[in-house]
Structure 1
């Protein structure tokens, strides 16, 4: 998890486990600690319903030693304007917060703190911790209420998010090993690298999903950082690698892509089951295999 206590990541972690949590300063530090074996697993933010993907997580998962996602957490996000006791809203000139928190409260800040300058820092809880210092140069923090309470700050305003329905998605990441069993409501995350940049290169990738009836829940292009204009695609798809349609999709991607980085198949936090069209269910695939075996004179499969 990200430090200090009181971050949204800390809150998300507490919804799934009471185990001792070790805080780290950044997403990269968390993932490096998992890779080295320093910790067994790490929880990091990967996507926000307002701002989209968390690039620090997407890029660090796509590179370096392999890691896999084993579960996810969805956390509704609410922000407060936290100040040292005795501070009036007219006194607020300097505000500190996390970049994603700033993005999600920008309109409120413009409307209510037109005189304020916002500085982006490492975490919302870190912002609260900074403002709590008597010698801090910042007058207020945009953070979670739990962080304001933790550091003894007053809430001048609550529910200041521009979108009250904002949700942040977090993922639990571990070193490769046995994958969670299919539940019927699963998600698979991967990164697909084009074999070469050409007209229709993305279509080549998307066709592998479409021709097998696999729906995507997220797709984002990210620079590979190897050459200008060289991009890969970070993808979440409905389904589990243990299911024939996803297994076939991954095989197809392996054929048409330069590289495919598999980042895990795991239960969806919202437990939403995919709508699988006729011809793409496990039973349909099994029936097709039995038909082929019969044509070839083989003993039919169960």
Structure 2
């Protein structure tokens, strides 16, 4: 069995993403946060973790971003994207009228807030650790209405009043498959690479690093800064790059960044997703190059 930790309980979109990866012999291990899912891998309590990293509505999932750079290291081996729409559910026999306590994850609430205002007027929002947890809160009487995947209604014996609810029809969330450090997923020609680096606090250092990518034609699909939470006024730059560590231009750019950075962490190269799980053959890996080894050891 392959133990895979995820944001639980059963009935969350993260659980749905877990099954989408199609890992043979997967045994779900429910935890209460994305950070806890990654911690389970570090502690040897899970072989892999599935965690949300980016919402098309709410942006980056910062708890996942921060947890990815904690020590000891972990590595990303795959990704999948899910369309996000919700079922609205109550206890059997109850309706949506009257004072209602509405439970969901705060990010999910932002994706159904307009619908709730129009169809459950006067509802008070009750934050839940996950959408599955919101459904469980309704089943246990701690809330009256929940927005969650339809599977949650089946699991907790709830009645569905509306399905496919989403204020934005284009809402999608990207999920990562994360495991212990190892050889990167084989190159496919349509890949993504993620690194995290810190720079000396000197004028022009970030511009110089970005130029290393631009001059070699390496495209960045995402960049953001996060406080290190270790030293005041220091930041980690999280960067998603289009390409694989085995692509020569990208490898050359990373070697150049390595020389400029005060710290750099390689988080993996893997196939990009296109609305369904990307290949994650965990039994095959291309040979890791010297840069990967040096980056993991730090400077």
- Judge conservation of contact 1:4–1:23 (CA < 8 Å) in 2: yes
- Judge conservation of contact 1:214–1:239 (CA < 8 Å) in 2: yes
CA–CA distance in structure 1, aligned partners of residues 199 and 162 of structure 2: 47
Superposition map of 1:190-229 within 5 A:
190-196=195-201, 198-229=202-233
Question: How far is the alpha carbon of 1:25 from its aligned partner?
Answer: 1.7
CA–CA distance in structure 1, aligned partners of residues 158 and 91 of structure 2: 5
Query: Which residue matches 2:54?
Result: 47
- Judge conservation of contact 2:222–2:240 (CA < 8 Å) in 1: yes
Query: Which residue matches 1:299?
Result: none
Coordinate RMSD, CA, aligned: 1.6
Aligned positions, number:
268
Query: Which residue matches 1:98?
Result: 105
CA–CA distance in structure 1, aligned partners of residues 233 and 96 of structure 2: 46
Query: Which residue matches 1:266?
Result: 270
Q: Does 1:23 align with 2:30?
A: yes
- Judge conservation of contact 2:96–2:145 (CA < 8 Å) in 1: no
Question: Could you list the per-position Cα deviations for residues 204-248 of structure 1 after superposition, in whole angstroms to 9, with x for gaps in the alignment?
Answer: 221121111011111122111134443221111100111111111
Larger radius of gyration: 1
Query: Which residue matches 1:65?
Result: 72
Query: Which residue matches 2:163?
Result: 158
Question: Could you list the per-position Cα deviations for residues 64-89 of structure 1 after superposition, in whole angstroms to 9, with x for gaps in the alignment?
Answer: 21111001111111112211112221
Question: How far is the alpha carbon of 1:117 from its aligned partner?
Answer: 1.1
Query: Which residue matches 2:245?
Result: 241
Q: Does 1:89 align with 2:96?
A: yes
TM-score (norm 2): 0.85
Question: How far is the alpha carbon of 1:50 from its aligned partner?
Answer: 1.1
SS at match of 2:249: helix
- Judge conservation of contact 2:73–2:181 (CA < 8 Å) in 1: yes
Q: Does 1:182 align with 2:174?
A: no
Query: Which residue matches 2:257?
Result: 253
TM-score (norm 1): 0.84
CA–CA distance in structure 2, aligned partners of residues 159 and 172 of structure 1: 26
- Judge conservation of contact 1:124–1:143 (CA < 8 Å) in 2: yes
CA–CA distance in structure 1, aligned partners of residues 225 and 111 of structure 2: 22
- Judge conservation of contact 1:189–1:237 (CA < 8 Å) in 2: yes
More strand by share: 2
SS at match of 1:202: helix
Question: How far is the alpha carbon of 1:124 from its aligned partner?
Answer: 0.3
Query: Which residue matches 2:287?
Result: none
Q: Does 1:79 align with 2:86?
A: yes
- Judge conservation of contact 1:13–1:43 (CA < 8 Å) in 2: yes
Equivalent position to 2:41, from 9, 29, 34? 34
Question: How far is the alpha carbon of 1:92 from its aligned partner?
Answer: 4.6
Superposition map of 1:128-139 within 5 A:
128-133=135-140, 136-139=141-144
More moved, 104-113 vs 202-211: 104-113
SS at match of 1:101: helix
SS at match of 1:89: coil
CA–CA distance in structure 2, aligned partners of residues 68 and 131 of structure 1: 36
CA–CA distance in structure 2, aligned partners of residues 37 and 242 of structure 1: 29
